[in-house]
Amino acid sequence: MSIIIGIDPGTTTVWFAIMALEKNYREVLNYWIIETKPKEKLELKLVDIVNDLEEIIEKYKPTIAWVEKLFFTNNQKTWIDVAHARWAILQTLAKKWIHIYEFTPLQVKKWICGNWSANKLQVQKALKLILKMNELPKPDDAADAIAIAYIASLQKRLI
């Protein structure tokens, strides 16, 4: 069995999804958020993210991680801060010898919905259908992390 962690990085919120894969059976084990204080200094946010990620790794013992890649935004400060958080996440995963792969947001939308320009609600509805969930995964960033883990589970290198 493979345990996959899907990560949608941020600084104030980082979404994680844990998925188990055994042959062609996939199950979302858990998904949740790491929240940091919005006004907190970036370096303290990074410490919180790393500490929480280490706890998640210890509990679920994932062997594979898929992390959403950044895309350029108009707000350079936000983009740079998220890049720092992403680096802290990648470093934490690498230090635990977890294999790291990446998807762009557009790749996630294309894989889940068949459409590069799918909106967040479309991704949520598609995941509910694909994974036979009782309700939409909420909020939409949680759906992003679940989608990343699900797409990762489809990769041939895992089966």
Catalytic pick among 27, 55, 141, 144: 141
- 52, 54, 68, 135: which is the annotated catalytic residue? 68
State the residue for tokens 């706890």. 55
Q: Which of these is catalytic: 8, 102, 135, 140?
A: 8
Geometric angle at alpha carbon 33, from 31 and 35, rounded to 5°: 170
Amino acid letter, 56: I
The CA distances from residue 67 to 40, 98, 133, in Å, are: 24, 12, 23
Q: Is 8 one of the annotated active-site residues of the chain?
A: yes
Told to judge if 68 belongs to the known catalytic residues of this protein, a careful annotator would answer yes
Q: How many residues are present in the chain?
A: 159
Q: Which residue has the tokens 């350079």?
A: 76
Distance from CA of residue 143 to its chain's centroid?
9
| Distance from C-alpha of 69 to C-alpha of 84, rounded to nearest angstrom | 12
Query: Which residues are the active-site residues?
Result: 8, 68, 141
